Amino acid sequence: MAPAAQNFMRLFRGSSSGSEQNPSTHDLRLTRRSSGLVEVSKLLPSEQPLCILDLGSTSAANIRYFTEGGHKIYSEDILVASSDSSLAIVDEEGKPTLDSKRFLSENLTYPAAHFDIVFCWNLPDYLDESLVKPVVGRLWTVLKPGGLLLAFFHTREAGPDAPCFRYHIVSNDTLEMHPIEPRREIRRGPTGAVHTASGERFRLQRVFNNRHIENLFRDFASIKFFLSRDNVREVLAVR
């Protein structure tokens, strides 16, 4: 078995990697310790309520975690928003791309310097190429000076079929990971017949190396890397 596939299987078997599988459920549930989350959590016992942006799919756990601490949380699923087929355009060279200007006019529309913390999770790895830099640029704008952005990047060893996970905060250092399933859409056609369409699974778009990551966050004041054994690099960027 190729090394990348071995790592992928180890991720689900939960051995000495950074993730552990919960054996008591049939659903695939993994937990992982997050050094980046430990750093971010140091901000949470704050006198003033923090303003937090969660860019993953809706997570009741994350909303509960932060609201119980008295903080305000905003939730926005950027990956789902980016899969809107009406964003598809053709660039000057005739290549298919996404309309990043229109995307940013409809998403991430917040005042400047609004957030203390942004959870990007694995968004840059799975987002369409044409949206990555514009989205990071917008996140820089909406973060307060000194605000934190946490993002996860796969390493090359993760392999091209690395599943897209949703991260749910369990404690100040632990995340539970659920694979994101395609959303089933049920539509009624013009004749009244019911059609069920299954959306596509999100696929890993690219693997960033350290230089790519540094370039992506070059407008930020500092970035810190945390490398874990489950082939994920955590990056904490300070605005």
Q: Which is nearer to another protein, 108 or 132 (CB)?
A: 108
Coil, helix or strand at residue 42: coil
x/- map, 128-157, another protein, by CB under 8 A: ------------------------------
Binding to another protein by residue 170, rule CB under 8 A?
no
Regarding 194 and contact with another protein (CB under 8 A), the answer is: no
CA 57/CA 40 separation, integer angstroms:
20
Residue 76 binding another protein, by CB under 8 A = yes
Residues touching another protein: how many (CB under 8 A)?
A: 17
Task: Check: CB of residue 73 under 8 Å from CB of residue 66.
Answer: yes
- From the list 115, 109, 89, the residue with the least C-alpha distance to 237 is 115
Among 77, 128, 176, 230, interactor with another protein by CB under 8 A? 77
How many other C-beta atoms lie within 10 A of the C-beta of residue 13? 11
3-state helix/strand/coil string of 202-238: CCCCCCCCHHHHHHHCCCCCEEEEEECCCCEEEEEEE
Decide whether 67 or 198 has the Cβ nearer to another protein: 67
Q: Sort 3 into a burial class: Cβ within 10 Å, 0-12 / 13-18 / 19+.
A: exposed
The SS3 of residue 80 is helix
70 binds another protein (CB under 8 A): yes
Q: Does 179 bind another protein (CB under 8 A)?
A: no
57 touches another protein (CB under 8 A): yes
- Of these, 3, 24, 26, 60, which contacts another protein (CB under 8 A)? 60
**Segment contacting another protein (CB under 8 A): 29-37, 67-75, 155-163, 204-212?**
67-75
Contacting residues toward another protein, per CB under 8 A: 47, 49, 57-58, 60, 63-64, 67-68, 70, 72-77, 80
